[in-house]
Structure 1
Amino acid sequence: MAKGKKRSKEAKGRKITLKMAKNALKPTTDGKRRLDLSNMEIATFPKCILKLCDVDELDLSRNLLKKIPESIDKFVNLRWLDLHSNQLEQIPQAIGRLQNLYSLNLCNNRLNTHSLPHELGLLKNLRSLNLGMNSIESLPASVSALKQLRELGLFNNLLTSVPGCLKNLPNLDKLNINCNPIPPDNPPELDPIKRVECLYLVRESCLCDDCLQRCKAKRERLDSKTSGSPVHKRSMFAGLMTPNSVAQEDEAVWR
């Protein structure tokens, strides 16, 4: 009986109260306010945080969220939204009303082509968009309206060609499109764009089993290549794995 109750509790996830949310408020390096509810086993978007909708940054990463409500548009001042490593299957149309947003991280979810609303194209101030580690086969044409976009993560998806809309992004200078089934006879025609793989360090306990095995295999391959090097720095990152998100270069402190 006790085991059954435990499974039920895990399915519902952790309940967040307004008091808990207030305690999770943190100042940013530039004097703004960030609500950090990451890695708290949250399965349902906590309605109580709508009372804190004046925050500038919202971190709901590494939880169990399957849905983000349309009420996300209450966060009118939001400039940074991190939803990576959840179980999201759909992004609400209301996301397009977050006009101050400059960074959106949707990495490592369950998104596909139909999960991305055309309203993404309304985020005219967006500088960084991470869609890596999903099941996306193509991007909505509205992405071509993101004229301020500078960094785009599309790694570990199901793209069979480089989305044509990327040619209409004049400020895009960093693109990660690794680990997609793009045929070798269809190379990307994006020479001016730096194709990079940025890393974001996370603890092993924050990764799902599939991602953990994938990262371990990649680390073993890297170790085998560098085993002959006189300096071996693996011990510096004990308990940390990469990657599951694109890091922000202009952040003064690792989030």
Structure 2
Amino acid sequence: MQKSITTLIKNNVATLTLNRPEVFNSFNREMALLLQSELDACEKNPDVRAIVITGNGKAFCAGQDLKEVTSPELNPGFKKILEEHYNPIISRIRKIEKPIVAAVNGVAAGAGANIALACDIIIATENASFIQAFSKIGLVPDSAGTFFLPRLIGFQKASALMMLGDKVSAQDAEKLGMVYKVVSSENFLDEVISTANTLANMPTKALGLTKRLLNNSMQNNLEEQLNLESKLQIEAAQSDDYAEGVDAFVSKRKPEFKGK
């Protein structure tokens, strides 16, 4: 039986591939729970220093599998879908103190788009697109879309995209600040691998602390954020990576960071 998510760990990078290409990698309960499990495993595995989430086939993720929610036998109900599927996925993506790259290889719609937006870095192929598809079927955005999208592109643009349900091309998403980088289809895989390998070889202890600072900046006032920066800077300065970085700089050699 085909696994709905495949995992490959290479060079300290874990690549999690959504693997239901026949339904554009839309989520059913099994895939949502499996993604949570795979993220947990990546968090606990010291050999994983960066994570990539991508999709198999033409799509990154089309969101919720509507066949599941319209099936009397399979439908878990929206309360369970949100509280047991998507909300825990978003929480894990933000709480795991390792860099997470969304490699958006095609359409990212609904919850699929918002899972990508929750990641630390989005790299999109030139053929990718993003759609807040909820309004088209009488639903509201979920999976933290109403949290991240306004912060990425501004309140007015986010409001329009969520209400109108317009498709945003990869190129326009880059101009809006929704994604970090758009690359050609030919160079997409190489760019994703290069970025993930770069992150995995960086001082990932500091990257994790940076992620914590960014998370807290969403609700902290200036004084609270300054205090947290001081606290985490002291923690970073006590790390092996900091000692290695300084020694390498003084010695004019390439540092070898361990994420500790």
| TM-score bucket of the superposed structures, by smaller chain | 0.3 to 0.5
Name the structure where helix makes up a greater proportion of residues. 2
User: What is the TM-score when the length of structure 2 is the normalising length?
Assistant: 0.35
Q: Higher relative CO (CA 8 A, sep ≥ 6), structure 1 or 2?
A: 2
